[in-house]
A = this chain, B = another copy of it.
């Protein structure tokens, strides 16, 4: 029988609780100082079970760094009309984050974790890359695709930080439609505009 107040890890709730606790602790303490014991204590789960399910701390990190599935799905729906894709991307991402605080918190904790640790940064950038390329592969202009994807990520990541973490007044107070109108053309520029030096003809 599990100890009092503990949850069996098999349940989806317990898995979610472990990942939430891991993201919180990675972001608060950094990867090095986070112990499996502390994650177990915060999640109310026996640490031995965390080892059993995630292998080791690195496996736990890898599972904790995620682009929430709903966010990836929202992006994947954007690309139907290439000429409006920029504005739609901003609109969908911001309304998802506004309407679902739990998705927002998970994404911000992932971002904070990635900023605190090199390996976490690498995991996040690989995943952002594949989510963006999966969603926009067909819309993205054919030149400099890696730079284009990186600049989209830089603007959307910077916007999340400014609005939700730093709470810069102009970015925190703007309505989602205002942001979509202001930032949409920028994402459109990165998706399909001329972003490099004119090539010699």
Interface residues of A (CB under 8 A from B): 28, 30, 112, 114-116, 121-122, 124-125, 128-129, 144-151, 153-159, 161-163, 165-174, 177-178, 181-183, 185-186, 189-190, 193, 195-197
Contacts of A173 in B (CB 8 A): 146-147
Q: Chain B nearest CB: distance from A114 CB in Å?
A: 6
Given A154-B162, A177-B197, verify A125-B169 contact (CB < 8 Å).
Answer: yes
Write the chain B residue with the least CB distance to A183.
B151
4 smallest A-B Cβ distances: which pairs? A158-B158, A150-B170, A146-B170, A150-B171
- Are B182 and A115 within 8 A (Cβ)? no
In Å, the complex CA distance between A193 and B182 comes to: 9
A122 smallest CB distance to B (angstroms): 8
4 more CB-based (< 8 A) A-B contacts, given A121-B165, A182-B195: A124-B166, A150-B172, A154-B159, A158-B161
Chain B residues in 8 Å Cβ range of A177: 197
CB <8 Å contact, B148 and A170: yes
